[in-house]
Amino acid sequence: MNLLGKSLPPLASLLPFEAAARLGSFSRAADELHITQAAVSRQIRGLEEDLGVTLFDRRNRAVFLTPQGQQLGLVVSIALNQIGSVADSLRGASRKPQVVLLCQLCEAFYWLMPRLFSFHQRHPDIEIQVVTTTQPLTEFSGHFDVALQSTGRASGLSHLLFTASDEVFPVCSPDYLNEQEEVLKVTDLVHHTLLHHRATPPHLMEWDSWLAEFGIVLDGRTKSRYFDSYPMMLQAAVEGHGIAVGWARTAGRLVDSGALTRPCSESVVLPQAISIFKRPVIVERRETEYLIEWLRSELLEALV
């Protein structure tokens, strides 16, 4: 008697369920799977009827996993990802081990790339594929093993490994300030052009929250310029367009090289600024653990 066949739910429903659980949306799951939203809803409804439980709370065009849905979602995510990993390993058995690191664009460009050579020196047999995004983990539909993103952004079913600190301070081009204004008081910042990074969801700290740490309220009289990319905002600061909010891990090298300077001495330390995640797996891979170990040592070292 095929007991496994009797206990398993409809297998065709698992991919739509996993996508909807990860993305928190039937419509986005449908887009990812290239099927209709009605088809996703129908498959999940059939899965719920088979199990006799409600997997999603449906509220005003939004869906949220129930406790039973979270329990099944974790198991299904682990199982499907593990099947995918084994399939990939079988397809490319002759290739050297590969780990996919998903990283926010700014951290990849300014923090990761200058350091990644040290990982390759330590583990020359492991290939790191860096994939970048400006969206939260729940918006990313591709494969990854380890992910780095700002703390507080949506992470879905991914497993949080650890967090790391960062330091936030104003930066600008050395040429932006004239000789009479080499050092500013923090209260003087609102009289200058401030460069803003717009992100969805909002970034962990921007000008309004940074200034609030010093009791300063940003009002409409301050001249502002807005950018939808953090690297673009930093480049605008390098070119002398105004003063930006810089993060030590991403703007620090530009300060060290002299491309940017700190116009005032004040800064804000965020103890849990960056989060490292791992996708759920059944069998641990040594390559992934080596990458996590390296990231931990690099991120938890003292900021300089």
**Where do we find the tokens 């950018």?**
227
**Residue 127: beta bridge partners?**
98
Chain position carrying tokens 């080499």: 182
Question: Residue 304 — very low, low, confident or very high, per pLDDT cuts 50/70/90?
Answer: very low
The pLDDT of residue 81 = 77
Q: How many CB atoms lie within 10 A of CB 29?
A: 27
Percent of the chain with pLDDT over 70: 91
Judged against a pLDDT cut of 50, whether residue 88 lies above it is answered with yes
Contact 232, 282 (CB under 8 A): no
Question: What local confidence, expressed as pLDDT, does residue 89 receive?
Answer: 66
| 210-250 pLDDT, tens digit each | 999 999 998 888 899 999 888 899 999 999 999 999 999 99
Whether residue 279 is predicted with pLDDT greater than 80 in this model: the reply is: yes
Predicted confidence at residue 32, as pLDDT, reads: 86
Instruction: Give the pLDDT confidence score for residue 23 in this predicted structure.
Output: 84
Query: pLDDT at residue 91 above 70?
Result: no
Which pLDDT does position 82 carry in this prediction?
75
Q: Which residue has the higher pLDDT, 25 or 86?
A: 25
Tell me what pLDDT residue 46 has.
Answer: 92
pLDDT-derived band of residue 92, with 50, 70 and 90 as boundaries? low
For the chain, what is the mean pLDDT? 87
Tens-digit pLDDT profile for residues 22-40: 888 898 888 888 899 999 9
With 0.75 as the threshold, say if the pTM is over it.
no
Contact 141, 156 (CB under 8 A): no
| 242 vs 171: CA distance, rounded Å | 9
Of 8 and 86, the structure prediction assigns the larger pLDDT to: 8
Whether 1 has a pLDDT exceeding 50, the answer reads no
| pLDDT for 303 beyond 60 | no
The mean pLDDT of 182-193, rounded to a whole number, is 89
pLDDT digits (tens, 9 = 90+) for 135-168: 888 888 788 999 999 998 888 888 899 999 999 9
DSSP string, the chain: --HHHHHSPPGGGHHHHHHHHHHT-HHHHHHHHTS-HHHHHHHHHHHHHHHTS--EEEETTEEEE-HHHHHHHHHHHHHHHHHHHHHHHHHTTTSPPEEEEEEEHHHIIIIITTTHHHHHHH-TT-EEEEEEESS-GGG--S--SEEEEETTS--TTPEEEEEEEEEEEEEB-TTTS-GGGSS--GGGGGGSPEEEE--SSPPSS-HHHHHHTTT----TTS-EEEES-HHHHHHHHHTTS-EEEEEHHHHHHHHHHTSSB-SSS--EEEEEEEEEEE---SS--HHHHHHHHHHHHHHSSPP-
Inter-helix orientation angle 26-33/14-23, to 10°: 120
Q: Which domains, ranges and CATH numbers included, belong to the chain?
A: 3-89 (1.10.10.10), 95-156+273-299 (3.40.190.10), 166-271 (3.40.190.10)
Mean pLDDT lowest for which of 77-86, 200-209, 247-256? 77-86
